[in-house]
């Protein structure tokens, strides 16, 4: 089957001015640095990593909110980078995004009706009569009611606002939805409601989802495949359960070790392995394997050689030179 | 012997459009050397409870309506500003969620770590300096001498939080209040910082009140847990009891909605609705509108935290009556 989304060596760099005085030198923040990823239609892919690893920038690059510096982003077989403005707008219909902060992503001066009708109007899909009924249908699909249509965002709670943002993203019946930390700003009891909603929508409409989160438990719950990012690169990718049961990359292992388990006995029983240090700056990433300064297994080779993907199980690969010695 | 014993604390905010019942009849105690987790969702009153004990709630609009809070035989709620100032930072220390806004960006790290020493016991500058360096080393800051001269913006989030811990622990307080100390940090750094707090606690024998919304952190670090909802403590018990034998429907719901408690791919159990608005008085149980076990009495009868077992208290009428 042809993948819906093909990322080939995608790079997104941001220039920053450094040095005193007056920042005369320009340096590059390599937010996304060579990501290759295929997403099959109907699949839920989870993207995890710590803050600053480039997962949000990758999301924004996929929907073309920030221009990529290099590489290919093929959506439905077409490279988005080469498209004209008009052609891109047409493609955007099938490529939608949900943002982390539902307080910031809705215009406070637009009613829910306006917010949900806007994508329809922008793409000239709003029939003269049917707009309101389409909006009602959307609201009901995310668990809100027609009564909410005339309200403004401030009248809703965080969870309800996120429902509105999801409804807005679904208004154009997209093929691919990119959700960037959609539940991180919500309380646990509300988080469960929104996760169920997203999972249900994917199942019922066959929507393809790229789900970004720093919360491994959430990603494990919702996605079939998982990609772990570190400093702008994917370091491990595989079927969700395989990655959790048999993590290959030392970073993935450390990440799994560090998540607190809400079960005191299991938490006491497990081995504690602390990762020293913190993620380095993407302005000046370490040479070789970017993880080597924190890696307990690193040797001389890791400091100079950039590791390539090493597939150990079907569809489960990691970028690490020392996979054999970690066993 | 308890370090802190709070009884019937009520805190209200008198706003133009009404009265917010932020903390309602909260009673608890913290024993020497123990770690107590205070969990609940945002807005449940877990932070303001402790801020009010330290006199850090601006008044107006905040007003403590009733209650006592005995710390070392002294009622914190009846202390003058001067008396509180002598306790804060010396006997009770606090660390906050966001170390960037809690540290002064204009002052060097060293100046800030030494400040509690310079304010409280009489201590020479030279001695304060060397104790501050030791404190930074104790929380695992490499190259502590040099970091003393750094400004907060030159440190990463994890290092800043370590500086906060060093600052809090330098006077050897009896009680450390940690308000979401790792929420702003990444998981790998979170694990390091929690270990640093644990180590500091073991060395000084301080009691720790750990305010968090993360049940995972509670499981890994706390001896006892207080669960808060809508400004009240709804359940209090040892950590294992809370996780394996919860006696309040809200605690149960909190544990059951966690993705980690489910088989991957299964729909998550969830609690319909959301926490109540604290504007105005809530008669009966605040969880009643969302509770699967609700009966008419729950909506009408005032509830309070009552013992339901060994070192286990619950504020559920039906649990207290032995019906659930």
CB A250 within 8 A of CB A297: yes
Which stretches of chain B score pLDDT less than 50? none
pLDDT of A271 reads 67
pLDDT of A100 reads 86
- Partner residue opposite A259 with nearest CB, options B158, B216, B257: B216
Look at residue A141 and give its three-state secondary structure: helix
pLDDT of B118 reads 83
Our CA-based measurement puts residue B95 at a distance from the nearest CA of chain A, in whole angstroms, of 20
Cα-flanking dihedrals φ and ψ of residue A50, to 5°?
Answer: -80, 170
Going by the DSSP 8-state scheme, the letter that residue B180 receives in this structure is: S
- Rounded to whole angstroms, how far apart are CA atoms A219 and A58? 17
Q: Give the sign of the dihedral formed by CA B309, CA B314, CA B320, CA B322.
A: negative
Q: Give the sign of the dihedral formed by CA A158, CA A164, CA A168, CA A174.
A: positive
Report the residue of A262, A272, A294, A296 to disrupt the B interface, i.e. the one with the largest count of B CBs within 10 Å: A262
Cα-flanking dihedrals φ and ψ of residue A109, to 5°?
Answer: -100, 5
pLDDT tens for chain A, 327 residues: list them: 789 999 999 999 988 877 766 666 788 888 999 999 999 999 999 999 888 888 889 999 999 999 999 999 999 989 998 889 999 998 988 999 999 888 888 999 999 999 999 999 888 887 777 889 899 999 998 888 888 899 999 888 888 899 999 999 999 999 999 999 898 888 887 888 889 999 999 988 889 999 999 888 889 989 999 999 999 999 999 999 999 999 999 999 988 888 888 888 888 777 666 778 777 877 888 888 999 998 888 889 999 998 999 999 999 999 999 888 876
The β-bridge partners of A277 are: none
E-assigned strand segments in chain A? 5-18, 25-39, 44-48, 70-75, 78-79, 95-98, 176-180, 208-213, 225-230, 233-239, 310-313, 316-318
Task: Verify cis geometry, omega within 30 degrees of 0, for the bond prior to B120.
Answer: no
- Partner residue opposite A192 with nearest CB, options B192, B215, B269: B269
Query: Is the CB of B240 less than 8 angstroms away from the CB of A265?
Result: yes
Going by the DSSP 8-state scheme, the letter that residue A64 receives in this structure is: T
Query: Is the CB of B191 less than 8 angstroms away from the CB of A275?
Result: yes
pLDDT of A23 reads 66
- Rounded to whole angstroms, how far apart are CA atoms B236 and B225? 6
Query: Considering chain A, what is the average pLDDT of its residues?
Result: 88
Instruction: Write the CB contacts of B183 (distance below 8 Å, at least 6 apart in sequence).
Output: B97, B212, B213, B214
- Rounded to whole angstroms, how far apart are CA atoms A322 and A325? 5
CB A69 within 8 A of CB A11: yes
Task: Verify cis geometry, omega within 30 degrees of 0, for the bond prior to A246.
Answer: no
ipTM of the complex: 0.76
Query: Is the CB of B219 less than 8 angstroms away from the CB of A199?
Result: no
CB B91 within 8 A of CB B72: yes
Q: What is the pTM of this model?
A: 0.83
CB B317 within 8 A of CB B256: no
pLDDT of B209 reads 95
What is the SS3 assignment for A144-165?
A: CCHHHHHCCHHHCCHHHHHHHH
């Amino acid at each position: 089957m042809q993948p819906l989304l093909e990322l080939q060596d995608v790079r997104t760099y941001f220039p920053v001015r450094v040095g005193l005085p007056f920042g005369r030198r320009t340096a590059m923040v390599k937010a996304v640095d060579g990501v290759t990823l295929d997403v099959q239609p109907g699949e839920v892919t989870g993207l995890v990593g710590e803050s600053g690893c480039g997962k949000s920038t990758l999301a924004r690059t996929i929907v073309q909110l920030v221009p990529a510096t290099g590489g290919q982003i093929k959506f439905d077989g077409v490279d988005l980078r080469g498209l004209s403005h008009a052609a891109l707008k047409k493609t955007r219909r099938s490529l939608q995004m949900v943002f982390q902060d539902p307080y910031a992503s809705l215009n406070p001066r637009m009613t829910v009706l306006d917010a949900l009708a806007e994508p329809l109007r922008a793409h000239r899909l709003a029939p003269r009569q049917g707009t309101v009924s389409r909006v009602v249908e959307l609201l009901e699909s995310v668990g809100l009611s027609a009564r909410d249509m005339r309200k403004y965002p401030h009248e809703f709670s965080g969870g309800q606002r996120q429902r509105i943002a999801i409804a807005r993203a679904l208004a154009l019946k997209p093929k691919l939805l990119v959700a960037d930390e959609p539940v991180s700003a919500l309380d646990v009891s509300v988080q469960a409601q929104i996760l169920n909603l997203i999972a249900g929508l994917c199942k019922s409409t066959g929507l393809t989802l790229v789900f970004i989160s720093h919360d491994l438990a959430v990603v494990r719950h919702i996605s079939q495949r998982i990609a772990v990012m570190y400093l702008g690169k994917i370091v491990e990718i595989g079927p969700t359960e395989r990655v959790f049961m048999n993590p290959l990359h030392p970073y993935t292992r450390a990440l799994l070790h560090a998540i607190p388990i809400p079960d005191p006995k299991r938490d006491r029983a497990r081995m504690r392995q602390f990762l020293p240090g913190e993620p380095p700056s993407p302005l000046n990433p370490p040479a070789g394997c970017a993880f080597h300064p924190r890696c307990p297994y690193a040797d001389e080779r890791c400091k100079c050689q950039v590791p390539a993907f090493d597939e150990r199980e079907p569809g489960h690969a990691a970028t690490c030179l020392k996979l054999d010695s970690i066993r | 012997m308890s370090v802190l014993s709070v009884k019937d604390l009520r805190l209200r905010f008198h706003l133009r459009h009404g009265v917010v019942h932020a903390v309602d009849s909260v009673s608890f105690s913290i024993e020497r050397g123990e770690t107590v987790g205070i969990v609940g969702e945002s807005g449940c009153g877990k932070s303001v409870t402790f801020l009010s004990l330290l006199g850090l709630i601006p008044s107006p609009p905040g007003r403590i309506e009733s209650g006592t809070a005995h710390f070392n035989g002294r009622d914190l709620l009846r202390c003058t500003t001067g008396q509180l100032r002598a306790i804060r930072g010396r006997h009770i220390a606090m660390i906050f969620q966001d170390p960037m806004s809690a540290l002064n960006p204009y002052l060097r790290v060293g100046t800030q770590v030494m400040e509690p020493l310079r304010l409280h016991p009489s201590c020479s500058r030279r001695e304060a300096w060397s104790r501050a360096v030791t404190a930074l080393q104790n929380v695992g800051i490499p190259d502590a001498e040099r970091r003393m001269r750094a400004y907060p913006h030159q440190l990463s989030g994890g290092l800043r939080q370590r500086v906060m811990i060093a600052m809090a622990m330098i006077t050897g307080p009896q009680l450390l209040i940690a308000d979401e100390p790792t929420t702003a940090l990444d998981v790998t750094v979170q694990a390091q910082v929690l270990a640093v707090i644990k180590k500091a606690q073991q060395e000084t024998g301080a009691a720790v009140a750990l305010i968090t919304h993360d049940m995972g952190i509670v499981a890994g670090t706390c001896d006892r847990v207080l669960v808060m909802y809508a400004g009240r403590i709804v359940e209090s018990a040892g950590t294992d009891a809370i996780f394996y034998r919860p006696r309040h429907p809200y605690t149960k719901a909190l544990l059951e909605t966690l993705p980690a408690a489910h088989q991957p791919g299964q729909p998550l159990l969830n609690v319909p609705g959301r926490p109540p608005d604290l504007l105005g008085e809530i008669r009966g149980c605040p969880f009643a509108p969302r509770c699967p076990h609700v009966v008419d009495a729950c909506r009408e009868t005032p509830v309070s935290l009552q013992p339901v077992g060994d070192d286990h208290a619950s504020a559920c009428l039906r649990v207290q009556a032995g019906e659930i």
